[in-house]
Amino acid sequence: DGGITQSPKYLFRKEGQNVTLSCEQNLNHDAMYWYRQDPGQGLRLIYYSQIVNDFQKGDIAEGYSVSREKKESFPLTVTSAQKNPTAFYLCASSIEARGRALNEQFFGPGTRLTVL
């Protein structure tokens, strides 16, 4: 199905390695987001981007990096500096414009990252 795709679905990483999670959307949305989900916790915002070539840190950006070279793509790199990277990562997108508070965020299927 279309919308937002994330790959891979499962990812295993050795300590000290960087890994990149893919997020692609064909909804022509301006804004894209990365969240982290841990058991017993609400989703936490890592990074977001409201327009191509621009992105902002969220609440837990340390140890992560992103790029937004194309409107439809927003890859997330989990670096070796991230102390506890094992989690479920969710990408989302929305038609974003300032003041449009009802913009719905559409989520991808997620990537489960496990550090061995």
Residues sharing a CB contact under 8 Å with residue 100, sequence separation 6 or more, in sequence order: none
CB of 91 to other proteins, least distance (A): 8
DSSP state of 70: B
61 touches other proteins by CB under 8 A: no
Cβ proximity to other proteins: between 5 and 79 the closer is: 5
If we measure between CA atoms, which residue out of 116, 104, 112 comes closest to residue 21? Answer: 112
Note whether 2 binds other proteins by CB under 8 A: no
Q: How many CB atoms lie within 10 A of CB 73?
A: 14
Q: How far is the CB of 110 from other proteins (least distance, A)?
A: 5
Please identify which residue in 11, 43, 60, 61 interacts with other proteins, judged by CB under 8 A.
43
Residue 14, both tokens? 């050795």
Cβ closest to other proteins, residue 69 vs residue 104 = 104
Q: Taking the CA atoms of 6, 7, 9 and 10 in sequence, report the sign of the dihedral they define.
A: negative
Q: Which residues bind other proteins (CB under 8 A)?
A: 4, 40-45, 50, 88, 90, 92, 96, 98, 101-110, 112
